[in-house]
Amino acid sequence: MSMFRALSVASALLLVSACASNGIISNNNWPKNRSVVEGFELSESNRVLSHGLTQISARALKQPLMGRFVLTGITGLADIDPLFSIIDADDRVQAYIGGALASDLAKPADQTVSAWLDLFHGTLVGVRRKSELITSADLEQIYTAFFDAALDDLDPYSRYSGRLQARANRETRNGFGGIGLRYVNTDLGLEVQGLQPEAPAAAAGLIVGDFITHIDGVSLATKRSWTIRRMLRGPIGSTSTFSIIRKSFQPAKSITVVRSLIVPQTVELTVRDNVAIVEIHSFNQQTSQTVEALLTKALSDETSISGVILDLRGDPGGLLDQAVTVSDLFMESGWIVSTRGRHPESIQRYQAFEGDIAGGRPIVVLVDSRSASAAEIVAAAIQDTGRGLIIGTSSYGKGTVQTVVRLPNDGEITLTWSRFHAPSGYAIEDLGVLPMVCTSGLEGPINDALQRWQETGSQIAALKADWRTVAPNDIEARASLRSHCPAEVRPETSVDLELARRLILKDSLYAQAVGLTATSAAKKEP
């Protein structure tokens, strides 16, 4: 053995000895395959993280390199203790708390989840010995720190939600056991400010202006907001007694309320000057059903309705299946959207079936810079197929679909797993949908708006060819195209709504706009 080799072995033995004596985790003293290490629930952490990492590896639109992904997640521990840092060398990962070495571990030779989780847990056990902040952190704080850092490096829309936030997310998507009440906290209790029609609170006799002082005999005077929310909600079919004060009677009156499934309202419909205006604020489990019910009633009650405006300004999106169903309500045929990703289940095509709830009446969709995701699917489907047209500015350009991975701790990962493509074939990500009638920067009177559109409509139609064919990874070209109709927030007071109404009520103008749309759209399967 050469002197150099002998010195290297001696140095390595000294390092191992020094690590052991100073409580530093190394490959020689890292106790793998234990359920609990120094009070840390290793098996529980491994169960949650292993499931999450396995699903991310299989389903993410951009497959992460597991080593890079885990190392990025490890850096998230600095959110718990700002003194935490790592040195990522060629074949080793060293973790520090301040200047104190806490772990010195060899990088795994492969990209398997189990191998890199061993490195993460070894690092974690090492830094727990030197950081009071990380030692006192519970499992949920560890998961949040790890996934927040790792997913932030993956893409802008993938994210982790802990148990409580995940429950709130599911309630937003699917509904919850509740009473259908909008309120504010006051010194007297909860002041009722709004009631969902036909929901339990309204059915029990509560009215706007009532004050709820007690629930099941418990005063609400000093309760925190999250406690009140928990008291109002509960299993479907469960009952509670509310003590209320109303100006018309004294003392407080008791009302029994039976909870039912409450899905947040996302749709409003008004009829103005023979035009039905349907505002969709987001897409949850009941959005399409509500649109269908409200519009069917409006068309039955108001037989003179000339057309429909779908107002999607400010709509951040929501459930893909609801976007497809809302689009299908207005389309007799044609492709609605296609989705494409790595995982076989992410590759889907959605087609409209016969039946148009609006009976062929003109349709105008309003969008702005905040219209995203599901809202963009609806807008693109209606315009690309020639069923209607879009007024507004370039939309947000989210263009990706997220799947929800539920974790063993009851948290969840919202994971980007596919891109969606408009009926004419273009990828919406970082591009958005292009309105046939662009209102960017337009604040003037309606006649000026009409004149501007008639002067620029043909130019916008010609631009659609480039919109359809620009490469998904050509960020510079996509930004250049968007600049022709810059994305803006278009408030309710803007000229957009009146412009839409004018086009609907003047057949020749609407036909001209839709004709340009149909000419510019590619007639092909997505």
**Whole-angstrom distance, CA of residue 253 vs CA of residue 213:** 10
Joined tokens for residue 469: 């064919």
Helix residue spans in 82-162 (DSSP H): 113-128, 132-136, 139-152
DSSP summary character for residue 318: B
**Whole-angstrom distance, CA of residue 201 vs CA of residue 222:** 22
C-alpha neighbours within 13 Å on the C-beta side of residue 308: 28
Q: Is 306 exposed, middle or buried (0-12, 13-18, 19+ CB in 10 A)?
A: middle
**Whole-angstrom distance, CA of residue 150 vs CA of residue 62:** 13
**Whole-angstrom distance, CA of residue 271 vs CA of residue 276:** 4
**293 phi, psi to nearest 5 deg:** -65, -45
Selection from 161, 183, 163, 290 nearest residue 233 by Cα: 183
One of 398, 418, 464, 496 is an active-site residue; which one? 398
Selection from 427, 436, 422 nearest residue 367 by Cα: 436
What's at 510, amino acid-wise?
Y
One of 282, 373, 418, 424 is an active-site residue; which one? 373
Helix residue spans in 160-224 (DSSP H): 163-174, 200-203
Q: Which residue has the tokens 């994210």?
A: 159
Q: For this structure, is 373 an active site residue?
A: yes
Q: CA quadruple 456, 336, 377, 444: dihedral positive or negative?
A: positive
Q: For this structure, is 328 an active site residue?
A: no
349: enclosing H helix or E strand:
strand 348-351
**Whole-angstrom distance, CA of residue 17 vs CA of residue 488:** 63
One of 118, 384, 430, 496 is an active-site residue; which one? 384
What's at 80, amino acid-wise?
I
What's at 210, amino acid-wise?
D
Q: For this structure, is 507 an active site residue?
A: no
**Whole-angstrom distance, CA of residue 372 vs CA of residue 363:** 19
**Residue 196: strand, helix, or coil:** coil
Q: Output the DSSP codes for 285-307.
A: TTHHHHHHHHHHHHHHH-TT--E
- 216 to 207, 220, 369, 443: CA distances (angstroms): 19, 10, 46, 53
Q: Output the DSSP codes for 262-280.
A: E----EEEEEETTEEEEEE
What's at 334, amino acid-wise?
G
**90 phi, psi to nearest 5 deg:** -60, -45
Are β-strands 84-88 and 92-97 bridged in parallel, bridged antiparallel, or unpaired?
antiparallel
List Cβ neighbours of 452 (8 Å cut-off, separation of 6 or more): 442
Q: CA quadruple 117, 119, 124, 129: dihedral positive or negative?
A: positive
List the catalytic residues. 373, 384, 398
